[in-house]
Amino acid sequence: MVTLAEVAQHAGVSASTVSYVLSGKRSISMNTRQRVEESIRELGYHPNAGARALASSRSNIIALMIPLRTDMYVPVMMEIAIAVATTARAHGYDVLLLTGEEGPDAVRRVAGSGLADGMILMDVELEDERLPLLRGGAAPDGARPGVPADQPAVLIGLPADTSGLTCVDLDFRATGALCVEHLAKLGHRDVAVIGEAPAVYERHTGFAERTLDGLRSGARESGVRLLHRPCEGGYDAMALTLARILDERPDTTGFVVQNESAVEPLLALLRQQGRAVPEDVSVVAVCPEQVAVQASVRLTSVAIPAQEMGRYAVEHLVAKLDGRDGDEVVLLAPELTVRASSGPAPSRA
C-alpha cells in the first residue's frame, strides 16, 4: 500500500506538502504541484480513508437509513438510494447503507463512532424514535450518554414535529388536493380513494395520511363525495376492495390510487367489468412516472420525484456539513400529468 510519505519522497518534497496539494488548503507552486501529481499517478496512490478520518475527524461518508420492510414503494426507495449515492459521490462523499433494523441504536452507533459525517433517513414515522437523537439546538443541556448533540441529518418524509430538523418530501397534501381537483373539474362527483395497505396507516407513516388530508379538503372545496379504502395491493385484495366500493357508492366514476401494486389489478378489473377507462371511469395515480407510463392504460398521475428527493437530501446535508445551511423543510410541489386514464365524467343516467 502506497503512503503519503512514499509519494512525498518520490516527488522530493515533504509529506505535508503532498497533503496540501491534495486538499488545496494552502497555495502550492505550479512546479511542485505538478511533480506531486505526477508521483501520485505514477505510484497509484490513494489516501488511506481511516487515517484521513482520524486526523481530520471527517469520514466523508453519509449514512442512508432505509426501511427494512419493503411492503411499499420499493422502486421509489431504490431510485432514492441511487440518487443519494450518485449525488453524494459528486460531492466527494460515499454512502453507508443502514437498514431500519437497528433502530435508534444505529443512529447512536454511527454518530458515536464517527463512521459517518451525517445521515439521511427514509420512511420516517410521525413519532419516530430516532428523532430525539437528531434534533438540533433544542436539546436540553444535560449530557445524555451516547447521544452526541446535533448529528447532522436530513429526513426524507415528514414527522409530526419538524422543529430542529431538516426534511425533504413531496407535498402530499397538495398532491391529494391536486388529484381530486382534477377529477372534479372533469365533472366527477363520486370519487374513491384506493390507499396503501392498512399496515402503512397503522404505522403512521405521515405521507399516506397527508395525502388523505389533501384529498378530503380538496373534495370539500369542490363538492366531491370521497370514499377512502385502504388496500393491500395484488389482484385479489383489489377485487375485494373494488367490490366494496362499488357496492357502497355505485355512482363512483373517479378513482385515486396511491398504491403501486393495486394499479394494474384495478385496471384489469375495470376492464373485466366493462367499465371503460377513461370513458366510463377515470383513474388518477400517485406513483413513480415509470409505473404510470408502463401501465396497460397510460395513467394520469402525480409523479413521486424520487431522484429529486434523493438529490435534495444530499445537497442539504452537504450544505449543513459545510455550515452553509440551517434547518428547513422543503416540500416539493406536485405535478399532475394528464395521460390517457382520465376524462370527462359520463353524463348521469
> Binding residues for DNA, per CB under 7 A?
1, 3-5, 12-17, 19-20, 22-23, 25-29, 31-33, 45, 47-48, 51-52, 54-57
Q: Give the nearer residue to DNA in terms of CB position, either 117 or 128.
A: 117
Q: Give the nearer residue to DNA in terms of CB position, either 26 or 69.
A: 26
Query: Where would I find the beta strands (DSSP E) of 60-219?
Result: 61-66, 94-99, 118-122, 153-156, 167-170, 190-194
Q: Report the alpha-carbon distance of residue 326 to residue 52 in Å, rounded.
A: 27
Which residue's entry shows cell 512525498? Answer: 8
Q: Which of 347, 158, 167, 334 is nearest to 256 (CA)?
A: 334
Residue 113 engages a second copy in binding (rule: CB under 8 A): yes
The DSSP bridge pattern shows strands 190-194 and 167-170 to be unpaired
CB 19 within 8 A of CB 51: no
Closest approach of Cβ 89 to DNA, in Å?
18
Closest approach of Cβ 232 to a second copy, in Å?
9
Q: Which of 3, 11, 8 is nearest to 35 (CA)?
A: 11
State which of positions 29-88 bind a second copy (CB under 8 A).
Answer: 41-54, 57, 59, 61, 64, 66, 68, 70, 74-75, 77-79, 81-82, 85-86
Closest approach of Cβ 104 to DNA, in Å?
21
Which residue's entry shows cell 463512521? Answer: 115
Closest approach of Cβ 315 to a second copy, in Å?
17
Closest approach of Cβ 296 to a second copy, in Å?
4
Q: Report DSSP state, residue 344.
A: P
Q: Report the alpha-carbon distance of residue 176 to residue 106 in Å, rounded.
A: 34
Residues in contact with a second copy by CB under 8 A are: 1-2, 41-54, 57, 59, 61, 64, 66, 68, 70, 74-75, 77-79, 81-82, 85-86, 89, 94-99, 101-102, 108-109, 112-115, 144-148, 233-235, 261, 264-265, 267-268, 271-272, 293-297
